[in-house]
């Protein structure tokens, strides 16, 4: 491998890092911009000299052959300064924006198999080998479990479908395209990072817990006057309680149940209390809340606005007031799973 000079002068650089768990399709031009980070297919990355780089693609391939030949996608970030002083910051920025991208899997990709969208080398997939060796019987067997590497495909279908979900609008809010306060932008970015951590988790209990932390962040105040499980149920119901399925599916009871599982996990360390159905319901509730908030952003510009909305809707229900046509109506997307979709590759 060709040596790279260590004494790097200050200047403008492209920081590039190989990425696992995502592939960029030809039908969107082999590139996809998150915020400050742009993802390229490896083939297009090697043609980036047209953007003013000082080295040819063949020179870059020779220098970084160890990972160029092993990855489909490269994350690129432009920075100014001395590279050795900026490397940690660049890595953190890429990692966080990949977490934001991973949040787009919420409501888009089924959780049939865990995988990680992250800088290559950060990926942790649940593989295992074990062996049974007989003591009083002459028998021995080696068992191997391997999870086939999966990935998020970013193509024209992804871009089109996401318009109905939350990711493009949420990224627009975070990027200050809609004149929201910095506090609200940072708040929603924090929720999206939590959702991304959940989607990147390869252990079921961890994925569930990150979702529940995101729900806590959205629906609970720091000095909460209600019992937490009551508050979560009431405020979720304020958004979706008028949907036809709500009573029929006993959603109040189901949401209260997953919050109880969250408490057992946090306070008792009981990971076995959480199963795949709890994870999927937490995905479903979180995805629908984010869709409702970003698609009605004129009405939701702070956490206080969420609390005020929930209080109004709960008061209407208590008073027996029927919804009027001009009242906000929120749809609710069900996540459809079959028995074959159940995540057999998930670890507790």
What is the reported pLDDT for 325?
Answer: 45
Distance CA 72, CA 227 (A): 48
User: How far is the CA of 87 from the CAs of 9, 38, 63, 99, 207, in angstroms?
Assistant: 14, 17, 18, 18, 29
Lowest mean pLDDT among 78-82, 210-214, 317-321: 317-321
User: How far is the CA of 3 from the CAs of 55, 63, 64, 168, in angstroms?
Assistant: 14, 7, 10, 40
CA 6 to chain centroid, in Å, comes to: 36
What is the reported pLDDT for 200?
Answer: 93
Q: What percent of the chain has pLDDT over 90?
A: 50
Lowest mean pLDDT among 3-7, 135-139, 144-148, 245-249: 3-7
Q: For the segment 258-271, what is each residue's pLDDT rounded down to a tens digit?
A: 999 999 999 999 99
For residues 153-177, one letter each, b for 16 or more C-beta atoms within 10 angstroms of the residue's C-beta and e for the rest, the string is ebeeebeeebeebbbebbbebbeee
What is the reported pLDDT for 169?
Answer: 95
Q: What percent of the chain has pLDDT over 70?
A: 84
For all residues of the chain together, what is the average pLDDT? 85
Q: Which residue has the higher pLDDT, 310 or 327?
A: 310
Quickly state the pLDDT bin for 1 (edges 50, 70, 90). Answer: very low
Q: For the segment 14-58, what is each residue's pLDDT rounded down to a tens digit?
A: 788 889 899 999 999 999 999 999 999 988 888 876 666 667 777
Using the predicted structure, report yes or no on whether residue 327 has a pLDDT greater than 60.
no
Q: For the segment 113-166, what is each residue's pLDDT rounded down to a tens digit?
A: 888 999 886 554 545 556 565 556 666 666 655 555 689 999 999 999 999 999
Provide the 3-class DSSP secondary structure of residue 1: coil
The pTM for the full model equals: 0.86
When pLDDT is averaged across residues 237-250 and rounded to a whole number, the result is 87
What secondary structure letter does DSSP report for 342?
A: S
Residue 293 near residue 284, CB atoms below 8 Å: no
Strand ranges (DSSP E) for 82-149? 118-119, 128-133, 140-145
Distance CA 273, CA 261 (A): 6
Q: Is the dihedral of CA 153, 154, 155, 161 positive or negative?
A: positive
CA 134 to chain centroid, in Å, comes to: 44
When pLDDT is averaged across residues 3-24 and rounded to a whole number, the result is 77
Distance CA 178, CA 173 (A): 6
Q: Please enumerate in sequence order all residues whose Cβ is within 8 A of that of 265, keeping only pairs 6 or more positions apart, or say none.
A: 205, 208, 209, 271, 273, 274
What is the reported pLDDT for 124?
Answer: 47
């Amino acid at each position: 491998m060709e040596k790279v000079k260590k004494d790097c002068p200050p200047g403008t650089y492209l920081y590039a890092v190989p990425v696992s768990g995502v592939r960029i399709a030809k039908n969107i031009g082999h590139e996809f911009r998150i915020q400050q980070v742009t993802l390229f297919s490896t083939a297009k990355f090697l043609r980036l000299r047209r953007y003013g780089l000082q080295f040819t693609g063949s020179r870059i391939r020779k220098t970084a052959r160890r990972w160029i030949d092993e990855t489909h996608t490269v994350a690129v970030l432009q920075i100014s300064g001395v590279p050795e002083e900026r490397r940690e910051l660049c890595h953190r920025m890429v990692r966080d924006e990949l977490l934001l991208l991973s949040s787009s899997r919420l409501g888009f990709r089924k959780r049939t198999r865990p995988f990680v969208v992250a800088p290559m080398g950060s990926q942790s997939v649940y593989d295992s080998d074990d062996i049974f060796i007989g003591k009083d019987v002459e028998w021995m067997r080696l068992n191997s479990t391997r999870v086939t590497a999966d990935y998020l495909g970013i193509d024209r279908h992804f871009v089109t479908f996401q318009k109905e979900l939350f990711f493009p609008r949420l990224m627009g809010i975070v990027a200050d395209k809609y004149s929201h306060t910095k506090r609200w932008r940072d708040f929603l970015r924090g929720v999206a990072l939590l959702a991304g951590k959940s989607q990147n988790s390869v252990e079921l209990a961890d994925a569930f817990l990150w979702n529940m932390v995101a729900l806590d962040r959205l629906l609970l105040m720091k000095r909460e006057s209600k019992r937490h499980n009551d508050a979560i149920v009431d405020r979720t119901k304020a958004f979706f309680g008028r949907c036809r399925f709500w009573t029929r599916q006993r959603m109040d009871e189901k949401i209260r149940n997953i919050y109880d599982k969250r408490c057992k996990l946090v306070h008792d360390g009981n990971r076995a209390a959480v199963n795949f159905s709890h994870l999927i319901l937490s995905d479903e509730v979180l995805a629908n809340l984010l869709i409702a908030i970003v698609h009605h952003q004129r009405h939701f510009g702070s956490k206080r606005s969420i609390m005020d909305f929930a209080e109004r809707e709960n008061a209407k229900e208590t008073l027996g007031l029927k919804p009027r046509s001009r009242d906000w109506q929120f749809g609710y997307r069900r996540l459809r799973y079959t028995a074959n979709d159940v995540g057999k590759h998930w670890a507790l």
